[in-house]
Structures are given as C-alpha cells and as structure tokens.
Amino acid sequence: MTSTLTAPAPSRSRSAAARSRRRRPIDKGKLLAWLTIVLVGAFALLPVYWMLVTAVRPAGEVFQFPPKLLPTSVTFAHFQSFVSDPKLLGYLLNSVVVSVATAVLTLAVATYTAYSFSKFRYRGRSSLMYLVLASQMFPHALLLITLYLLFNAFGLLNSYLGLVLSFTAFTMPLCIWMLKGVFDTIPDAMIEQAKVDGAGRFTIIHRIVLPVAAPGVVAAGLFAFIRGWNDFIFALTLAGPDKQTLPPGLVNTYVGEFQTAWPALMAASLIVSVPVIVGFVSLQRYLVAGLAGGAVKG
C-alpha cells in the first residue's frame, strides 16, 4: 500500500525539477562573459590557427585570393623538409645547447645574487640593485655592439660561450629581480630557526631556502630559456654561421631577397615552438606557484 502511494512522488518531483530547469531564465551576464571569452580566445588563437593551416597547405594555395579558412588539400611535406634538413637540425641543436646553458648560467648567478639582495643588509645594496635594473634600460643594439667589441677582442665570436654569455647578460637583471621577489616572501624567521638548529649558510640556501623558492626559480629559468630560444639579432651577429640558432637560421633559410617560403617557415616555426610549449605545460604548476609566490613582485 505504502509503496503504491509513495512510488509516483519522485517521478513527479523529477519532472517538476526538469520543468524548473527548463524554465530557469538565462543568466545574461554569464552568457556575455562566455561570449567574450570565446571571442577573445578565438582572436588570440587565430594567428596560431593561420600558422597551422599555412604549414599544411600546398605552396600554391598559400596566396589564394580571397584567402580560405580551410585548406582544400593537406600536405606534410613542409614538416618533412624541416626534419630531413641537417642544417636546420644543426640550428635546433645549437638552440637547445645555448638556451639550456643560458638558463643554467643565469640561475646559477641570479639565485645567489637575488638571495644576497633579499636576505643580507650591506652598504651599497640598494644602489647595486638599481644598477642591475638600470642595465636593462640600455638599447639592445648598444649592448650588442659592446659585446661584439669584447668578444672580438677575446676571440669569443662564433662560439657557444660567447652566445651564452650574451644571452645571460640580458636575462640576468630581470631574473635577479624576479628571484629577489621570491626570496622576500620567505620569512627571515625560517632562516633564523635554521641557524639556531646549527645550519650553515650553504645548508640554509640549498636545503631550506631553495626548495621553498623552487617555483620561482623554475619560473626564472623558463624565462631565461625562452629568451635564449627566441633571440634573433644577438644570435645572428655573434654566433657566426656555424653556431647560429633557430631564429636566424630559419630566417636565413626561408626568408629571401625576393620571396619567403611561408608554408615551410610556418611548419618550422610550429616544430620549434614545441619545446617551449612542452616546457610550459610540464612546468606549469611551478610557474603558476612561482608567479603567485612573488616572482613578479619585484
């Protein structure tokens, strides 16, 4: 009996809820927000999309007028031509070598400098900090000439070392300031406590501070890596033909006096952006934590 009386109730209730859901008025604010996000997203991704479709289009279709959003035929020949060109693979290797070395060298120096700026009080500290920042204000062309003069005198032109040193010179100041912001967020009490427990300076930096500051360090390292990976003019001028990295290498290969091989250039650009995307994705949680933890507070 009871069951016959009570059984239909949930069914009525569910259908009422469904009707209620159907009738719920549309939240216009939310809809507008979503529309905006979709539009901005599409706008931001359009160049990437265009790059992709250009890379897979046959050369003759690239300049079709009016342009078409979708390629009528797809080819992977441009990707193939990149991976089968030993010269381009050489540029890729050079890029990996100098970008990794730049990131490592920048972090090695910037970490200790930033720690010093953040946790020690000494005469001239403030001036030194601003001097480091001021070096960012020199035009790159001027810095390049100075480096060219120095490297020419010391025989460092056309070498990995010269390139790494030059990249490090312009990534260092910003990395120092990024890392100083990170170290500032670490309470001095933690360091004092470690001292009370008998830890030496080396132990404090490497066992206590750096693990806590790891997200910030990763963020700074990624910044240095990308800066080295993307640089064009320093690499073109200081590296010489043998040690050239990808940006000048790609321009040299695909951009000519009379024409630019757009599909091949786009395919190559997609390939070379993969390491950066992989780096970002795999280190994303560190990056977000690093930025949120003061890496950009300066």
Partner 1 sequence: MDRTLSRRVLLGALAAGTLAACAPSGGPPPSTQNENADGLTTDDGVKDVTFTSWSMNEAASKAQLQELLDAYKSSAGVTIKTPSYPYNDYLKQVILQLQGGQVAGAVQLDVTWVASLGAMGKLADLAPLAKDVRYTEAGLKVGQYDGKQVGLPWTHGAIGLVGNSELIERAGITTEPETLEDFEAALTELKGLGGGVVPYAAMTKVANLKDIVVWMWTFGSPVVEDGKIVVGDEPSVEALTWYKGLYDKGLIGKDMDRFDARALFGQGKVGLYDDAAPARKFVSANATDPKIGEKLVAWKRPVLKAGDQPQAMAWGHVLAVVAGGEGEYAAGQFVKHLTSDADTAITYFKSAGYPPTTQQALENPTFTGDPFASSFVEKVTATSKSDPLWVYPQSAQLYETLAKQVQAILIGDATPKQGLETAREAMQKLVG
**Cα gap 287→227, rounded to integer Å:** 16
Of the residues 51, 96, 128, 236, which one makes contact with partner 1 according to CB under 8 A = 236
Binding track, positions 133-172, relative to partner 1; x by CB under 8 A: ------x-xx-xxx-xx--xx---xx--------------
Helices 262-282 and 86-119: angle between axes, nearest 10 degrees: 40
**Cα gap 253→260, rounded to integer Å:** 9
User: Least separation, in Å, of the C-beta of 293 and partner 1?
Assistant: 39
Residues touching partner 1, count (CB under 8 A): 37
Of the residues 185, 240, 276, 296, which one makes contact with partner 1 according to CB under 8 A = 240
Of the residues 251, 276, 291, 296, which one makes contact with partner 1 according to CB under 8 A = 251
Residues 46-105 touching partner 1, rule: CB under 8 A, are 59-66
User: Least separation, in Å, of the C-beta of 143 and partner 1?
Assistant: 10
Cβ neighbours, 10 Å, residue 201: 12
**Cα gap 286→214, rounded to integer Å:** 7
- 255 near partner 1, rule: CB under 8 A: yes
Binding track, positions 258-297, relative to partner 1; x by CB under 8 A: xxxx------------------------------------
Tokens found for residue 66: 């009016």
DSSP string, 164-222: HHHHHHHHHHHHHHHHHHHHHTS-HHHHHHHHHTT--HHHIIIIIIHHHHHHHHHHHHH
Helices (H) and strands (E) in the chain, counts: 15, 0
Residues near partner 1 (CB under 8 A) are 59-66, 139, 141-142, 144-146, 148-149, 152-153, 157-158, 233, 236-237, 240-241, 248, 251-261
